[in-house]
Amino acid sequence: GTTLRAAAAEKGRYFGAAVATGKLSDNTYATVLNREFNSVVAENEMKWDATEPQQGRFSYGGGDRLVSHARANGMSVRGHALLWHQQQPSWAQGLSGSALRNAAINHVTQVATHFRGQIYAWDVVNEAFADGGSGGRRDSNLQRTGNDWIEAAFRAARAADPGAKLCYNDYNTDGINAKSTGIYNMVRDFKSRGVPIDCVGFQSHLGTTIPGDYQANLQRFADLGVEVQITELDVMTGGNQANIYAAVTRACLAVSRCTGITVWGVRDCDSWRGSDNALLFDCSGNKKAAYNAVLDAL
Ligand code: XIL
């Protein structure tokens, strides 16, 4: 293949990008996006604050625009993210206890129902585990509604859109460490109790190194019977950028249940990481060395 999407498809994988829908009218942006990628995820437009700005008043304009762009261009859509401790609307930040739990589950049900049939995989819960050595849950308003909030969210998502794969998504899970092991134990528990979970997303916001057990970590999750996906890949610029991108690509291809890779933006100037120049295209839309390394690895 001569594009990321064609080369990935030859390997039975997708290659995706996070999209800010406001940029779809930028010609350079749209040209690169449509040529190179066959999966998209909304960088912000499907988050709680965007989709339910007031309680019970839903707003799907941005998400709907992305879904129709995807359909027109032969792209699948990842949904991101139904529940997260960040980018909550202020009304939700002010709730707690059963009022918050009910609002959260209603949010999952309404949003997953709205997009039913159009989403390949939903990040049902994002970033619920703590950094550091505890291996436990992150403290958050959602966590304080009870430890079962994650499984309640997955069950509601399954009921609302039975065709979507349901993912748990997190960062700092790029090797075998306390945090990734905590998540691994949750997934194993969910599988053993029949809680509906289909996939684990590894954000893979990387610096200038990649853990040596990156592939082994993906494999241990895959061995639980879930799909694994690289969901928000970006890599700090520096001598290793192209090599790290290639290593992530090879690791995904080496794990049969690793179904695709998503980079968190198109051009360096689109990236939330700013001066890290963390993406595959420069600000003019030209291919970087990292792009060629990924294409060669596919
Ligand atoms: C980021 C977006 O890229 C920014 O535009 C926004 O201001 C903050 O969120 N982990 C995630 C993503 O799961 O949703 C985050 O996206 C990056 C970190």
17 exposure class (CB count in 10 Å sphere: 0-12, 13-18, 19+): buried
Atom 3, ligand 1: which residue's CA is nearest? 272
Atom 15, ligand 1: which residue's CA is nearest? 43
d(CA 259, CA 255): 9
d(CA 39, CA 265): 12
The residue to mutate among 19, 41, 44, having the most atoms of ligand 1 within 8 angstroms of its beta carbon, is 44
Is any atom of ligand 1 closer than 6 Å to the C-beta of 44? yes
Q: How many helices (H) and strands (E) does the chain have?
A: 11, 9
Give the tokens for residue 226: 């879930």
127 is catalytic: no
Is any atom of ligand 1 closer than 6 Å to the C-beta of 43? yes
8 A C-beta contact, residue 233 and residue 204:
yes
Residue pointed to by tokens 């999407």: 5
d(CA 90, CA 32): 35
CA dihedral for 110, 115, 116, 121, sign (positive or negative): negative
Q: Vertex 22, ends 125 and 72: CA angle to 5°? A: 80
Is any atom of ligand 1 closer than 6 Å to the C-beta of 268? no
Q: Say whether pTM exceeds 0.80.
A: yes
Ligand 1 atom closest to the Cα of residue 47 is: 14
Give the tokens for residue 62: 């941005």
Task: Give me the tens of pLDDT residue by residue for the chain, a chain 298 residues long.
Answer: 899 999 999 999 999 999 999 999 999 999 999 999 999 999 999 999 999 999 999 999 999 999 999 999 999 999 999 999 999 999 999 999 999 999 999 999 999 999 999 999 999 999 999 999 999 999 999 999 999 999 999 999 999 999 999 999 999 999 999 999 999 999 999 999 999 999 999 999 999 999 999 999 999 999 999 999 999 999 999 889 999 999 999 999 999 999 999 999 999 999 999 899 999 999 999 999 999 999 999 9
